[in-house]
Chain A
């Protein structure tokens, strides 16, 4: 049974000719793409008179019977045509090529033509408050960039001690890490429970589907059930071999801002190790180790960083850093892991581009500072702001919406205040004015942008149909 054979029989139900629709008809025989767009009902509902004149004489709104009669007439008319050899004298036109049909080649069957056309199939109407809530991600990042720039200005103008800045931010980072660690533990436990529940449900599901499947496919299904844990074990063994590797991968994973979190908690390799310490503790030690490593490396590198772009003029430095900051904001991975789209965006714009741009900007800026301590502080600060803080923010968003909102608010206020202070040259009243103004402005912008986006959505017009390349669904087990 081909998919098209059943269709003409179904069509009368889908064939409403309402007055209001008819009024829209400008040109009855015209079939432009817009026909498919306007109505929720199938497009052929709108062009009642057939382009071929099938339905014209026989009571326009062609019930199948009328169509049958019209087809009869049509066939009489075209009988003298040579090709109507037609072993099958069935009246109905079929959307098939291998059947010799008694219709001309340019016959357009109004019942099945563009039947499989879908318009905006995956359309999700935006909701205002959800959009506003989601836009906090962008606001948070922009605010942290602003704060960084303001801190740099403060350090550059010798108004803030770099050690204060880096001290505060480091203590914040440590606090954040402790929180994060706590969440990791929580999630791991939840994951374990879910896995256990899933394992039991998979067994049940597998049994039922195997019984319903054909006899041929049964052995394969059984093999699947055996194969999955085997493959997993393999991966675990290969990635969790030497004791240091998880720690290093963790340290690398952090500054990229990539969603290390999900993959990190997924892998059970740490369980394989025959150490006296629990895997979580080992993990922590590894993190601390890598943190110390980065710290020491920075200490050693900062004299070099200081003189690296010293010979470049300040104008170029400002321009370069502005561009790099722009790149950082533009290419930052706002997707936040989870959801089908994030994979695609992650491949296309690697999150490391954004982080690298920011770190490069801070390196370039560091050459304008006066001492090695300044350089060290600024670079460390930038690692914390652009490498670690996004990871924390992303996870905070998953854990609690309220905390996320509070953080956004705090960031907005801080950014506003920082701008105020920087612009006014150190007056605290300006900070208050700045934060109030900034938060008002940002709330307004968030609202307007969300509203605008909702307004723009009505122009969305995606056409899908059988001509689109299919998306293969493959279980990535053989990689």
Chain B
């Protein structure tokens, strides 16, 4: 069974970023598996209307008022008419929203439920519970996720966070990690040839004591990326290890602090600041180093450390958020988010590298087997199966379904579209918020009824589909073959670039 899926998010190409590439990669792989996928986002500068990307991925750039950092202004209802039009035109069955700061996505989920569609939400980030912005976002998230069929989180920590923020049933939340396109993050080619004649093991990291070790840092230089830790640690690492160099790529408000630190400690010749690099160039920067340092203070998944490991770098990172789940212990050293501990961990990594105890040459292959978008698409497809009733409820949720679950907390796949059931779910959101949310939902429904009269369905033309690929469904025995095939195909399509 194949689906017509609409990915809705504020953040999409041409803006670079993790969420954007997640949506793109996932969509491409879903198309490879025979589904029809469209992306709905707001209009970017010079990019309005309908566009096609590689692989027949259709993107709707809806003109909308952008409030702050590419997030649209949250007008609860104004997106509905055009959204309904797109959904009917494309005969979408599943609406998949991304990113909790995207008001586009929240609106889309609300309207989709009003229209009687299945909805999925993917959360890419972590939020605290203390500051005012988080409280507001959490309330909004609770509103939207009161009536959603399934939620996908990128790490287990993220799942715990989302479950707490939106008071969800944990079984309604799946953990599907991000992935990397391993082919784009190969280590340097010549390393493959430098193997020991004796046992055939790679030799390239038997560094002599005076060979320079390069530590790479690629991150936006923001407070929450741990730039303060970096600023504190670099002089100490440089002082302790005379044959260590740094490469720092990325820009941000803290860049000036980094430069000041360099000047104060006269480290300009040992620390290279590259400024912002494009995502395509990240690999070329990474392969210049031996160790990747990631001092972030909060991170839901940390795709960049997977990319670094894929490039054959040993990863030193802080033990925060979902990071401890991401890489196996032999690829990483964890540090507490403290200056002293970060320095100690880096020193340990340098020492290990000098003694040749790390087999970084095999990281790439290992990472490739761990994370692939094909796998992500397959797992997402199972979520779609589960919510649309292809998988039985028991198979999807386990055998103890339903008991003690009221309509107010109904489960996906069995969740009713009836307005009164939906209202019950929203009403539980809070003393005041519940009533407000109910009001919003009722108005949304009235708008829907009005739109049905004003612009009847049969007046909206259905579009012709891009030629679909034959459905690629796994049979239980041939999973590995399917993954292999998918990977080959993906490699081919990737080479054509983002835009068709």
Query: Which of A79-87, A148-156, A341-349, A435-443 lies at the interface with chain B?
Result: A79-87
B window 127-152: CB within 8 A of A:
127-130, 150, 152
Tell me if A471 counts as interface (CB < 8 A to partner B): yes
Knowing A29-B400, A50-B400, A217-B343 touch, does A472 contact B228 (C-beta < 8 A)? yes
Question: A129 to chain B: which residues have CB within 8 Å?
Answer: none
Complex Cα–Cα for A213 and B343 (A):
12
Complex Cα–Cα for A108 and B156 (A):
9
Tell me if A466 counts as interface (CB < 8 A to partner B): yes
Q: Are A114 and B164 in contact (CB under 8 A)?
A: yes
Q: Are A472 and B329 in contact (CB under 8 A)?
A: no
Question: B152 to chain A: which residues have CB within 8 Å?
Answer: 105
* Cβ of B411 to closest chain A Cβ, rounded Å: 10
* Cβ of A126 to closest chain B Cβ, rounded Å: 20
Residue of A nearest to B318 (CB): A470
Tell me if A200 counts as interface (CB < 8 A to partner B): no
Knowing A105-B382, A106-B172, A468-B298 touch, does A216 contact B240 (C-beta < 8 A)? yes
Question: A216 to chain B: which residues have CB within 8 Å?
Answer: 240-241, 344, 347-348, 350-351
Complex Cα–Cα for A214 and B170 (A):
42
Q: Are A467 and B400 in contact (CB under 8 A)?
A: no
One of B128, B240, B400, B479 near A82 (C-beta < 8 A): B479
Question: B351 to chain A: which residues have CB within 8 Å?
Answer: 214-216
- How many positions in chain B have a CB within 8 Å of any CB in the partner chain? 90
Question: A98 to chain B: which residues have CB within 8 Å?
Answer: 325-328, 370-371
Q: Are B339 and A472 in contact (CB under 8 A)?
A: yes
Complex Cα–Cα for A474 and B157 (A):
25
A window 1-53: CB within 8 A of B:
1-4, 26-33, 36, 49-53
Q: Are A97 and B177 in contact (CB under 8 A)?
A: yes
Q: Looking at A83, A106, A213, which has the most chain B CB atoms within 10 Å of its CB? A: A106
Q: Are A217 and B344 in contact (CB under 8 A)?
A: yes
One of A56, A81, A104, A214 near B400 (C-beta < 8 A): A56
Tell me if B285 counts as interface (CB < 8 A to partner A): no
Complex Cα–Cα for A87 and B239 (A):
44
Question: A181 to chain B: which residues have CB within 8 Å?
Answer: none
Tell me if A95 counts as interface (CB < 8 A to partner B): yes
Tell me if A223 counts as interface (CB < 8 A to partner B): yes
Q: Are B232 and A474 in contact (CB under 8 A)?
A: yes
Knowing A29-B404, A470-B318, A471-B337 touch, does A113 contact B327 (C-beta < 8 A)? no
Knowing A220-B343, A471-B337 touch, does A85 contact B480 (C-beta < 8 A)? yes
Complex Cα–Cα for A116 and B297 (A):
17
Q: Are B240 and A96 in contact (CB under 8 A)?
A: no
Residue of A nearest to B151 (CB): A106
Q: Are A3 and B343 in contact (CB under 8 A)?
A: no
One of B171, B177, B337, B344 near A51 (C-beta < 8 A): B171
Tell me if A458 counts as interface (CB < 8 A to partner B): no
* Cβ of B393 to closest chain A Cβ, rounded Å: 12
Q: Are B398 and A478 in contact (CB under 8 A)?
A: no
Complex Cα–Cα for A85 and B379 (A):
13
Tell me if B441 counts as interface (CB < 8 A to partner A): no
Residue of B nearest to A57 (CB): B399
* Cβ of A405 to closest chain B Cβ, rounded Å: 35
Tell me if A475 counts as interface (CB < 8 A to partner B): yes
Question: B338 to chain A: which residues have CB within 8 Å?
Answer: 472-474
Q: Are B235 and A478 in contact (CB under 8 A)?
A: yes
Q: Majority SS of interface residues in chain A?
A: loop
Q: Are A474 and B228 in contact (CB under 8 A)?
A: yes
Tell me if B359 counts as interface (CB < 8 A to partner A): no
Question: B499 to chain A: which residues have CB within 8 Å?
Answer: none
One of B265, B325, B339, B399 near A475 (C-beta < 8 A): B339
One of B127, B261, B398, B409 near A30 (C-beta < 8 A): B409
Tell me if B163 counts as interface (CB < 8 A to partner A): yes
Interface string of B208-244 (1 = CB under 8 A from A): 0000000000000000101011011001100111000
Residue of A nearest to B349 (CB): A216
Complex Cα–Cα for A49 and B130 (A):
32
Q: Are A223 and B371 in contact (CB under 8 A)?
A: no
Question: B193 to chain A: which residues have CB within 8 Å?
Answer: none
Q: Are A468 and B347 in contact (CB under 8 A)?
A: no
Residue of A nearest to B170 (CB): A108
Question: B396 to chain A: which residues have CB within 8 Å?
Answer: 104, 106
Complex Cα–Cα for A467 and B299 (A):
8
Complex Cα–Cα for A106 and B380 (A):
11
Q: Are B169 and A30 in contact (CB under 8 A)?
A: yes
Interface string of A436-479 (1 = CB under 8 A from B): 00000000000000000000000000111111111111110010
Q: Which residues of B contact A (CB under 8 A)?
A: 126-130, 150, 152, 155-158, 160-161, 163-164, 167, 169-177, 224, 226, 228-229, 231-232, 235-236, 239-241, 261, 264-265, 295, 297-298, 300-301, 318-322, 324-329, 336-340, 343-344, 347-348, 350-351, 370-371, 375, 378-379, 382-383, 386, 395-400, 403-405, 409, 474-476, 479-480, 482
